[in-house]
Amino acid sequence: MGAGKTTIGEEAAERIGRPFVDLDREIEARADDSIPVIFESWGEPAFREIEEEAALEALSSRERKVIALGGGALGSEHTRRLLRERATTVQVEIDPDEAWRRAGGSDRPLARDEDAFRRLYDERLSTYEEAADAVARDSDDVVLAAGGVHVHVGSLERLGELLPGDGAAALVADAHVAGIHGADAQLALGRRLASTHTVPRGEEAKTAEVCERLWQELRLDRRGVLVAVGGGTTGDVAGFVAATYLRGVAWAAVPTTLVAQVDAAIGGKTAIDLPQGKNLVGAFHWPVRTVIDPSLLETLPAAERRAGMAEVVKTGLLAGERVWELPDAELVRRCALVKTAVCLRDPHDRGERGVLNLGHTFAHALEAAAGYEDVTHGQAVALGLRAALRLSVDHLGLDAAVAEEADAVLSPQPVRVDLDRAWAALGRDKKVEGGRVKLVLLEAPGKPVHGVELPDKDVRRALASLIRT
């Protein structure tokens, strides 16, 4: 009581695009009376019966919702079972002194005596902690929890306890990352660690040959979990292997690069490349947990940090926030929060999630034209943003100063690739519909527009401006 579940739940529901259910309101609607009257006239046992019925109905719905449960709802074993099976359960933490300050003296039936209130708090706390998948203070925490995203300095050493379930774990990393973080990850997984596997660095990991080798090496059963430690490419291939092995096993992402922590490890997109284009074979397979430890960025080479800043700037432009100016831990958390909310609103990329491709149509074309060599993803995204923002200035009226600032932050240099090959790859982008390229552009910071069609000559000219001869 007094934790703010209703306020936080309403905010979180709006941010992730789901209906909100307040269980207390549902109870009052069923009884056609207020909760104090139900307690006084019907008695607490009758109230708990109505509460359980309302909770079971809300949790059994096929529609995904955000549900604020009353403080005593977890007293029902049936409710706790459905929470385990069907929900992500978030405990809203509050100090008992603050809870009493908010709830004491109100018409709440169980908040009229301070000593009894505090005893109730102590009695219920262990039940809350056992049921909770995550702990929250505000709606930001709830949004991240809904996406299975945990952002906290030092979380790598807690990997074992943060990983849901009790099945065996297979660890996947490239040799470089394994040399830096592999021992810590193995130690954190403890007895759950069943096997370790290596993949090549970079886009070389995202091939059918690497997938086939992993499929043959794995010995997990359906309760097992694949743990990908590394950058975005490691997550892409490990996630795709998890999506297809035994028709789908769970996987967890432990991103170690800036680009993966702010973007690639979040949202459940997994894929491998074909010579004709990037990410043309893949699956939506959301990680059961994305464990983000910003302190891992301390070992990141400067070049990889610069590459990750392209995704940071993209996220800031989409959100209308100068996130690139924040300290690392805040920067990572804010970017992760923005992407998690967008992906929860559109988990299968059928609408709004398309805005996350700002600059990426051009970027993927450049990467494919380079044969996924010599041009890094971050470098390509920085150039892709340059093209998209310049087109936004010309066609949507974006303030030119926005494009100039993004360019100044990233300072991308044109790359040497074949223009015709890049143009052909752009024509095979996932966002092409009916032979027409669909671009994401920007009217203003925080106001992206997706599905924009422009004349081919303008798009090709923008692509050509990114290529040096």
**Per-residue burial over 154-180, b = 16 or more CB atoms within 10 Å of its CB, e = otherwise:** ebbeebbebbeeebbbbbbbbeebbee
In angstroms, the CA 43 to CA 45 distance is: 6
Domain extents in the chain: 5-143, 149-300, 352-464
205-255 residue pLDDT tens: 999 999 999 999 999 999 999 999 999 999 999 999 999 999 999 999 999
Helices then strands (H, E): number in the chain?
21, 14
Fold of 5-143: Rossmann fold (3.40.50)
Whole-number pLDDT of residue 194: 97
Q: What is the CATH number of domain 149-300?
A: 3.40.50.1970
In the DSSP assignment, the letter for residue 148 is T
Q: Can you name the CATH fold of 352-464?
A: Dehydroquinate synthase-like, alpha domain (1.20.1090)
Longest dimension (CA), the chain: 84
Task: Using a cut of 0.75, tell me whether the model's pTM lies above it.
Answer: yes
Q: Name beta bridge partners: 271.
A: 282
Contact 232, 311 (CB under 8 A): no
pLDDT tens sequence across 43-65:
999 999 999 999 999 999 999 99
Tell me the C-alpha distance between 72 and 89, whole Å: 14
Please count the CA atoms within 13 angstroms of the CA of 170 that sit on its side-chain side. Answer: 25
DSSP notation for 311-363? HHHHHHHHHTS-GGGS-HHHHHHHHHHHHHHHHHHSTTSSSGGGGGGTTHHHH
Beta bridge partners of 174: 199
Burial class (CB in 10 A: 0-12, 13-18, 19+), 422: buried
**DSSP-based three-state secondary structure for 255:** strand
Q: Decide if 149-300 and 352-464 have a common fold.
A: no
Helices (H), 377-447: 377-396, 400-410, 419-426
Q: What is the pLDDT along the chain (469 residues), one digit of tens a residue?
A: 889 999 999 999 999 999 999 999 999 999 999 999 999 899 999 999 999 999 999 999 999 999 999 889 999 999 999 999 999 999 999 999 999 999 988 888 899 999 999 999 999 999 999 999 999 999 999 999 999 999 999 999 999 999 998 999 999 999 999 999 999 999 999 999 999 999 999 999 999 999 999 999 999 999 999 999 999 999 999 999 999 999 999 999 999 999 999 999 999 999 999 888 888 899 999 999 999 999 999 988 888 898 899 999 999 999 999 999 999 999 999 999 999 999 999 999 989 999 999 999 999 999 999 988 889 889 999 999 999 999 999 999 999 999 999 999 999 999 999 999 999 999 877 667 766 888 999 999 999 999 999 999 999 999 999 999 7
Non-local CB neighbours of 209 within 8 Å, separated by 6+ positions: none
What are the E-state strand segments in 129-249?
134-136, 149-151, 169-174, 193-199, 225-230
* The pLDDT of residue 430: 64
